[in-house]
Every structure is written in structure tokens, then in C-alpha cells.
Structure 1
Amino acid sequence: MPKELSYTIEEVSQLLKVSKLTLYDLVKKGELPVFRVGRQMRIDANDLDTFIHREKRTDSTKFQPPVRELNKNRIKDSAVIVISGQDFVLDILGKYVEKRTSFKTLRSYTGSLNGLISMYNEECDIVSLHMFDGDTGEYNLPYTKKILVGYPYVLLNLLSRKAGLYVKKGNPFNLTSWGDLNQDGITIVNREKGSGARILLDEQLRLNEISARNIKGYDHEETNHLSVASAVASGHADVGVGIEKVAKMAGIDFVPLITERYDLVILKSAKTEHLISVVKKILSSSEFQSEVHSLGDYDILNTGTVYYDSF
């Protein structure tokens, strides 16, 4: 049997020099066929070639993001929805959505702020958020109010979890607070711009009047919690910001500093009315909450709570 060549979304994104969100949008519209291996999407090489030949243009718009031709606040006609965020619980949510609706769910592993911006551009259907606002001490709502201007939406809780510092076994620098990041000799590993962990760090540095320029390793970025924890575990960094569960996975110590609210936002429209209703029922169900609770290190006390519901 001849070997069939296929690509991941990440690989096609690099090949075509476009964002992964652009590709998710093409998939949702049915313009770029995909198949799945487990929960990972793959694109057949022949389908990619067909798409490229079909889309070839002689003008400067070649491979630019597609024009948004649809009205605000609607799920596209495709039976596919995109869930943005990195926590494993979002995969569980996707599984429940597929069980209770005709939708197929795709995952975009994008940070909170970038996911919210993609929702503003009508590229995502469910976005997960954990963005700390230092001025109010509140999570998520200050950002959604500023970015989703003109959009009605619902913001509801998925879970809460501890966030803080990843440190080496024994915490050799005795780090116990955000202010301790200003110690001499400490090397940090950071998250990418737009991620909730990056926002948390930047806000805490601002509140503690610590200049990022004075922190060694601030420009060393990783794109997920596990990579940050691994950098600390391997000795490439002394400290990083992340969540409790991943510290245990990486075999390092964890200094809890804040309980972060991990929420979901969904735009409201006639097209999303059913989706919102289903997600609310899933989050409130004992079956979903028991499965999340069994994972450990997640607080489900407020799971399903609606924190904001605009007109």
C-alpha cells in the first residue's frame, strides 16, 4: 500500500505562511478538507495541492486571510465549531458537545488574549480565558468588555485552578511571592505574548514595580505550561509561571500564588442559542463535573456559573 502523505495544521500554517486560525476558518467553511487521527486534525497532501491550485491568483491577495463575509455573532453554516485554549478539560468539553449535538469540535491551542481577538474576528466559537487584571483584581471580564465591543456574549465559569511559580525541587531561591522575582541570579522562562500566564506575570511585575528588563530570561518564550515546567526541571531556567497540575507532571515544586478563574465566552446570536444552552447544561451536569474533578487540582465549585450575560 503506498504511503499517504498528510500534514498537521501547524505544518500547513508554516508551509502557506498563514495563521492557524485562518486554516481553522477554511476548514469550518468546508474549503479545506481534513480528517482526524484521534483528536488531531490532518490534511491530506492531495487535498492541499487541490486547494492551492484552486486558490491561485495573480494579484497580491494570494494566501491572505479570507474576507469576513458573514454577519456578526453567528456560527458558520458548517457543522464544525472551534474551541480555543490549551487546558485538557477543553477536550473533555468538546467530547460532551459532540455527544449532545450534531457539531464536530476542533481545537485551537491559542492563548487567552489571542483567542479573544480571534473571536472578535469571528474565527472561534468558544474561547477559554484566564486573564488577570491588576487594576481590579478580577479575571477575564475587564478584557472581554474591552475587546468584544459591539458583540453580545455570555461569560461562564469552566473551573478554577491554582497558578503560581514553577521552581526546582527544594525551591533553592526560596521564592514565595511575585516580588521575589527581582532577586539577583534568577533566570526565568516566559510564556508567549497573549497567553494568560504571560498576562498574569506582566501584571504582577507592574504591580510590584519590577522592570521586565531587569529579569534574565524574560524574552525566553515557550508556548505551553509543560514546556515552561520542563525548562525549569532541566535547569534551563530557575522559575516560570504556570498551573499546579503541570508542576506535578514535570516533577518540580510549585509555589501557589493566586486562584485563577478559567472561564468560557460564547457570542450570543440566534445561531449560537442552542450551543450556549447545551454548554450550560454540560457544565452544570454531575457527569461532566465528576470527570473534571477526578483529574485533580481543579476546583469545580463555580463550574457553570454565569458571570456575565450581555443584552
Structure 2
Amino acid sequence: MSKRIMNTKELSAYLGINEKKIYTLITEKKLPATKVTGKWIFLKDMVDDWLERSSGEKPYIKESKDVLMITGSDDILFNRLITIMRKQFPEIFPFFCKTGSLKGLFVLKDGKAHMAGSHLLDEESKEYNLPFIDSYLKEYHIVTVNFAKREQGILIKKGNPKKIKSFEDIARNDIRCINRQKGSGTRKLLDVFIKKFGISSKSIDGYNKEVTTHLEVGLNVLNNEVDFGLGIKAAAKMLDIDFIPLVKERFDIIIFKELFFSQQVQKFLGILRSPQFKKIAKGLRGYDTRDSGKIIYDS
């Protein structure tokens, strides 16, 4: 078929399935479609791409023997793991783009990375990452591996001069806050907490002031530019500032199943399971590596 744009009947003939099945795929948001003047239309290029990705015969991003493209959430221990990999396997270059957890899933879906780090908390189920994989990566074959559990909480000045005791203090008139970028798991966590306590984001001084890493949050606290910011315990220890724990969250690595047994991915996961990795995690503080390397989900 040479037509670039198809209607439902034409697509039915092209795919060899009945029109009812096509409507089902649209409803399940599996099939790329656009509605124009009340009728569904389909771009052939997008349909062909969807077929290729849904076949399970090859990953959306091509395997590379010397490059490992990583995206997703910022983490201090994760950075250390990448440094170890570069030293142990100089023939492989791991490239890490810190986009934030949610945006990382979209980067993965767009075929621009082999794996993504994520710690997204679903408000309803209280489950990490899996509901978001089901929502945004449902048409892919995915393996989710635990990276570590980590303590996330409030970073404050050493000695706690503002006498901050709980998350609710974020709304005090004398408290200056800093936030993480939209799409990050830490930003999502902050929004979960302000909803839980019935706090309006408009009442928070600094809600729209954004940075992209835990260390940036900590440095703003250390330099007395802000009083309050969410971050991980490891950042507080590195900067010698105080920390009020809020949650112990699960940080996972999301990988295309077709790439899971590739040489570079297995070398990466091998470090994750190593005594060296666990020793570094223990020294950084705030990490639980008992399940590191464990498969959490296999679609």
C-alpha cells in the first residue's frame, strides 16, 4: 500500500484484522491514531513503526557494543556506578543524561536510551515505577531491575536554625524552599506530600524555583539561599547539612527486554551486584542494597 494516510477500513485491510479490533487498540492507546472531523486516521509510517516495536523481534533502540545510553533520575550512587563501569570496562562508554524519572520513560520510549533510572511513586497504589511503566511503556517488553532503596527527605541547614520539624513547615512564611524540575521523581514526591497535607503550591515560597540534582538542592541549603528542599540522605552527608527522613523509596532501572542480555547491560548489572558497589553504597549512607540487581518486573 502506497497511501501515507489511511482510514479505519484501509488500515483493517493493511493489518489483516477487523475494524472492531482496531477500535479496541485505539481505546487501549496501543495504536497511534488521530481523530479528524470525527473520523480516525492513521499515518502509515507511525503504524509501521508501531508494528516493529510491538513485534518483540528487535528493540526500539539499536544495541551497541561500545555505548550504553542511560537516562532518568539523578542519583549519587548511580553516578558512582557509572564511574566504576568506565574504569572496569574502558571499551564501553556509558552516557548518562539526567532527565528526571518521568521524562526518562519518554526518552526510553522515543528510542534514545537503552535504560532509565526511576523512583516514581503512584499515589493510589503506593507502588513505585510499575504503574507508570504500565501507563507509558505498555506496548514494550520491559525488565525492571532494582537499583537500590534510598532515604529521601528534607535537606536543611546544619543545626536546624529554622526549627523545621516536619514537611508541613514548608508552608511557613519564614521558610524559603527549592524544588526539583518537572518530570523528576522528587518533584512528584513533593507534590504527593503537599496534596496529603492540603497545602497549596502557591503558599510555598520557592515552589517554582527549580534545580536538576540532589546536590544542587543541598548546595542551595548550604549557601543559605533556601531553608528547605527535598533530597536524598547521601547528599546531606556529602555536604554536612542536616536531614529529616520522609520516605524510603525504591529506585529501579527500566530496561528493554530485548537488550537485557546484551553484553554492556549485563556488565552494568554485574557491577550492581558486586561487593564493591555495596561497599560504596554503605559509605555514602542512606542506601539499602539488599535487593540491588533483583528483577522486580518482567513483562
**TM class, shorter-chain normalised?**
0.7 to 0.9
Q: Go from structure 1 to structure 2 and tell me whether the alpha carbon gap of 1:236 and 1:100 turns closer, same or farther (over 3 Å shift).
A: closer
CA distance in 1, matches of 2:51, 2:68: 15
CA contact (8 A) 1:81 1:106 kept: yes
Query: What is the letter of the counterpart of residue 292 of structure 2?
Result: T
Q: Does 1:80 align with 2:67?
A: yes
CA distance in 2, matches of 1:255, 1:155: 29
Query: What is the letter of the counterpart of residue 187 of structure 2?
Result: R
Q: Secondary structure at the match of 2:192?
A: helix
2:159 corresponds to which residue? 170
CA contact (8 A) 1:154 1:265 kept: yes
CA contact (8 A) 2:61 2:112 kept: no
Structure 1 residue 92 displacement after superposition: 3.9
2:101 corresponds to which residue? 112
Q: Does 1:261 align with 2:250?
A: yes
2:286 corresponds to which residue? 297
Query: What is the letter of the counterpart of residue 82 of structure 1?
Result: M
Structure 2, unaligned stretches of length 5 or more? 1-48, 54-58
Q: Does 1:186 align with 2:175?
A: yes
1:283 maps to which of 264, 272, 284 = 272
Structure 1 residue 75 displacement after superposition: 4.0
Q: Does 1:146 align with 2:132?
A: no
Query: What is the letter of the counterpart of residue 94 of structure 2?
Result: T
User: Residues 29-108 of structure 1 correspond to what in structure 2 (within 5 A)?
Assistant: 71-72=52-53, 73-78=59-64, 79-84=66-71, 85-95=73-83, 99=88, 103-108=92-97
1:27 corresponds to which residue? none
Structure 1 residue 284 displacement after superposition: 2.6
Structure 1 residue 101 displacement after superposition: 9.4
Q: Secondary structure at the match of 1:139?
A: coil
Q: C-alpha deviations, 1:168-215, integer Å up to 9, x for none? A: 222233323222322232221111111111111011111221110111
CA distance in 2, matches of 1:288, 1:171: 32
Q: Which moved more, 1:222-231 or 1:237-246?
A: 222-231
CA distance in 1, matches of 2:181, 2:205: 16
Q: Does 1:239 align with 2:225?
A: no
1:41 corresponds to which residue? none
CA distance in 2, matches of 1:238, 1:284: 37
Q: Go from structure 1 to structure 2 and tell me whether the alpha carbon gap of 1:280 and 1:251 turns closer, same or farther (over 3 Å shift).
A: closer
Aligned length: 242
Q: Go from structure 1 to structure 2 and tell me whether the alpha carbon gap of 1:124 and 1:251 turns closer, same or farther (over 3 Å shift).
A: same
2:150 corresponds to which residue? 161
Q: C-alpha deviations, 1:126-178, integer Å up to 9, x for none? A: 21111122222222222222111201111111111111111122223332322
Give the percent of matched residue pairs that are identical in Structure 1 and Structure 2.
35
CA distance in 2, matches of 1:91, 1:231: 20
Q: C-alpha deviations, 1:41-93, integer Å up to 9, x for none? A: xxxxxxxxxxxxxxxxxxxxxxxxxxx89953244254312112422333443
CA distance in 1, matches of 2:91, 2:223: 44
Q: Which has the larger radius of gyration?
A: 2
Q: CA RMSD in A?
A: 2.5
CA distance in 2, matches of 1:70, 1:136: 31
Q: Could you tell me the TM-score, scaled by structure 2's length?
A: 0.73
CA contact (8 A) 1:83 1:94 kept: no
Q: Which moved more, 1:70-79 or 1:284-293?
A: 70-79
